[in-house]
Copies of this chain bind each other. A is one copy, B any other.
Amino acid sequence: MVIAEDLAKQQKSISVAEFFEKNKHLLGFDSPVRGIITTIKEAVDNALDACEEAEVLPDIFVSVRKIGPEAYRVAVEDNGPGIVPENVPYVFGKLLYGSRFHQIRQSRGQQGIGISAAVLYAQLTTGTPAVVVSRTSAKSTAHRFSLMIRTETNEPDVLEHEEIAWDRTHGTRIELEFRSSLAAKKRLLDYLKYTSVVNPHARIRVEIDGEATTFERVSDEVIRSPQAIRPHPHGIELGTLKRMAASTPETKLGDFLVDSFSRVGKKTAEEIAATAGLPIGARMGDVGAEAQKALLAAMQAVHVPAPPMSQCLSPIGEDLITQGLDKEFQLDFVKARTRPPSVFSGHPFVVEAAIGYGGKLDAEGTAQVMRFANRVPLIYQQGACAITARIAGVNWKSYGVSQSGLPTGPVLVLVHVASTNVPFTSESKDAVASIPEIEKEITLVLQDLGRELKTYLSRRDRNRQQEDRARAVCAVMPAIAEKVAEIVERPVPDISAIEGRIMRRLVARKSVRDGWVQITVQNHTDREVVLTIYDISTDAAEGAEPAPEFSSELDGEFTRLWNCALPPGGGWEVAYPGRGGGMLDVRGVEESRKVVVII
């Protein structure tokens, strides 16, 4: 029988590095294939965050090189602000070390785990150290480190450290060796492409085993880095309040409330104190455990304006989303929406979404789902993500889209969740957890966009129906015309113009009668058209009314040109003496939407 004393011998501390080495799948290092992608994702996230903070236009270089049968060398380099040499070993050689964990603002990285986990995974699979180069300014030299993580203690182990020459004036480069494969190359390129779509200010150059791709920057505007805010009273737990009270430099309750919390002014502080039954001038040292409980209850009960969200959040924006998608898929329909910011458990968040239809999207199969969190594309675990569940939860049939769980057909759904604290289902940050407030916002924005899509689809269907009917009429018209001509003993009339009208085309007609040439243009389409009319014939057409804007003669052939803008239903005409014939063309409207008749 094992007794307490035997068990006690086995009880001991587990280092964070040991924990995550054993549970590496929690960090997205569950397979050699995925290892490369996760590493690049962590490094690129860090690079973008750092450039944003330093207000630098990111210039990122990613390289993946095969160095053995199953071994790859990955390097990621940026032009960010660099890392001071004293901190380099900790940033890369210690899990749970970083600058963004305690700040309340939207950022890509947050935990201080990602890149050091990549170092851990590299040394686990190949036993080789990470190589880091960093330079903080043109005035200082670059430092090169070769380092590993001591798994048992989660402390960095610097094997080499030297100052070197580097052509970048500031930036950071990390190189790691993995046992891996490039089976997921497409996924990697997709990740980089989508990253570039939502980070139009970034230039990302990629070299995978000698093959180079560049995702060029399309905007020269530096993205405003979200600013940290103080915690909001509504999102505070008792334990947090206790800690804040214990560490505040303020001595009076009122000052503590105003200084420590977001959106608490003097008046709100007074209201909170009164509700808690505490004097606003109470000494912080006198606010005991019971008083703190009362204070917390009062902070929840009193109305406090929502946190200053535009400051700490950085949504992608409707225009950018629409442009990005349209560029990629040449959609027939695309609409994006950014919802007003909202709050869950005191954390500000904002949901954006877009729906695209047609274009280069696959007509068959399940809709294309694009998920983003804090401007980072989510590429794994689609099935476990609240975004996917909410997309499947919308009744798409009521918006004219077929559905089998997810919508089906040539549909694309993009959702971006941005927050000071995106609730992921695991440290690998692959999927957003089910938080009712966020789920509600996703549903609302998708319903909103669904209605827009429905309007588009039904207009398109109506147009198609009308066109079908018109086509049917036009099909019998020649026979009717012939019959009527026969009865009234007249030549068969030209019916192209009538057809054009029925088919909602632009009809240009050149006819001659009694020595006068007449050109008419009639806009039967449903949109305004801006036209250039070319008329070529042997007629000199002097005295044309209106006069052509341009006119020339070559070997007895005269070319004339008019410009005009016609609203739907509008018409234009010109007449001049002559014999007619020759050529007539109208530019400014698609070939399939115009009818040109010369009689």
Q: A319-338: contact bitstring with B at CB < 8 Å (1 yes, 0 no)?
A: 00000000000000000000
Taken together as a complex, chains A and B put the C-alpha atoms of A166 and B179 apart, in Å, by 56
In the complex, what residues of B have CB within 8 A of residue A84's CB? 4-5, 8
Q: Is the CB of A97 within 8 A of B127?
A: no
Q: Is the CB of B2 within 8 A of A81?
A: yes
Which of A118-126, A353-361, A579-587 makes up part of the contact surface?
A: A118-126
Q: A144-174: contact bitstring with B at CB < 8 Å (1 yes, 0 no)?
A: 0000000110000000000000000010000
A439 contacts the other chain (Cβ, under 8 Å)?
Answer: no
A468 contacts the other chain (Cβ, under 8 Å)?
Answer: no
A490 contacts the other chain (Cβ, under 8 Å)?
Answer: no
Q: Is the CB of B7 within 8 A of A83?
A: yes
Q: A351-379: contact bitstring with B at CB < 8 Å (1 yes, 0 no)?
A: 00000000000000000000000000000
Within 8 A of B (CB), among A159-213: 170, 179
Identify which of B54, B151, B170, B425 contacts A243 (C-beta below 8 A): B151
A3 contacts the other chain (Cβ, under 8 Å)?
Answer: yes
In the complex, what residues of B have CB within 8 A of residue A423's CB? 25, 30
Taken together as a complex, chains A and B put the C-alpha atoms of A54 and B7 apart, in Å, by 9
In the complex, what residues of B have CB within 8 A of residue A91's CB? 11
A21 contacts the other chain (Cβ, under 8 Å)?
Answer: yes
Identify which of B14, B30, B101, B425 contacts A22 (C-beta below 8 A): B101
A252 contacts the other chain (Cβ, under 8 Å)?
Answer: no
A10/B383 contact (C-beta < 8 A), A3-B137, A84-B4 known: no
A39 contacts the other chain (Cβ, under 8 Å)?
Answer: no
Q: Is the CB of B13 within 8 A of A97?
A: yes
Q: Is the CB of B238 within 8 A of A7?
A: no
Q: Is the CB of A4 within 8 A of B383?
A: no
A239/B111 contact (C-beta < 8 A), A26-B427, A81-B3 known: no
Q: Is the CB of A239 within 8 A of B124?
A: yes
Identify which of B14, B103, B421 contacts A101 (C-beta below 8 A): B14
A82 contacts the other chain (Cβ, under 8 Å)?
Answer: yes
Q: Is the CB of A239 within 8 A of B8?
A: no
A390 contacts the other chain (Cβ, under 8 Å)?
Answer: no
A292 contacts the other chain (Cβ, under 8 Å)?
Answer: yes
A426 contacts the other chain (Cβ, under 8 Å)?
Answer: yes
Within 8 A of B (CB), among A29-88: 30, 50, 53-55, 81-84, 86-87
Q: A229-259: contact bitstring with B at CB < 8 Å (1 yes, 0 no)?
A: 0000000011110110000000000000000
Taken together as a complex, chains A and B put the C-alpha atoms of A498 and B318 apart, in Å, by 81
Q: A88-125: contact bitstring with B at CB < 8 Å (1 yes, 0 no)?
A: 00110010111111110000000110000000000111
A522 contacts the other chain (Cβ, under 8 Å)?
Answer: no
A112/B14 contact (C-beta < 8 A), A127-B293, A383-B384 known: yes
In the complex, what residues of B have CB within 8 A of residue A54's CB? 1-3
A71 to chain B, nearest CB (A): 10
In the complex, what residues of B have CB within 8 A of residue A225's CB? 2
A12 contacts the other chain (Cβ, under 8 Å)?
Answer: yes
A136 contacts the other chain (Cβ, under 8 Å)?
Answer: yes
Taken together as a complex, chains A and B put the C-alpha atoms of A91 and B7 apart, in Å, by 12
Q: Is the CB of A123 within 8 A of B14?
A: no
Q: Is the CB of B11 within 8 A of A90?
A: yes
In the complex, what residues of B have CB within 8 A of residue A82's CB? 4
Q: Is the CB of A123 within 8 A of B1?
A: no
Taken together as a complex, chains A and B put the C-alpha atoms of A13 and B22 apart, in Å, by 21
In the complex, what residues of B have CB within 8 A of residue A126's CB? 238
A14/B239 contact (C-beta < 8 A), A3-B54, A137-B4, A426-B426 known: no
Sampled A-B contacts (21; CB under 8 Å)? A4-B82, A7-B53, A8-B86, A8-B87, A10-B99, A11-B91, A12-B99, A12-B102, A13-B90, A13-B96, A13-B97, A14-B98, A22-B101, A25-B423, A30-B433, A125-B237, A127-B292, A179-B238, A383-B384, A383-B389, A405-B405
Given contacts A10-B100, A11-B83, A127-B238, 16 further A-B contacts (CB under 8 A): A2-B53, A3-B137, A4-B81, A4-B83, A4-B137, A8-B84, A13-B90, A14-B97, A16-B16, A124-B237, A127-B289, A151-B239, A383-B389, A384-B425, A425-B425, A425-B426
Those 10 A-B pairs whose CB atoms lie nearest each other, nearest first: A124-B239, A4-B136, A10-B99, A384-B384, A14-B96, A127-B238, A426-B426, A8-B84, A11-B99, A4-B81
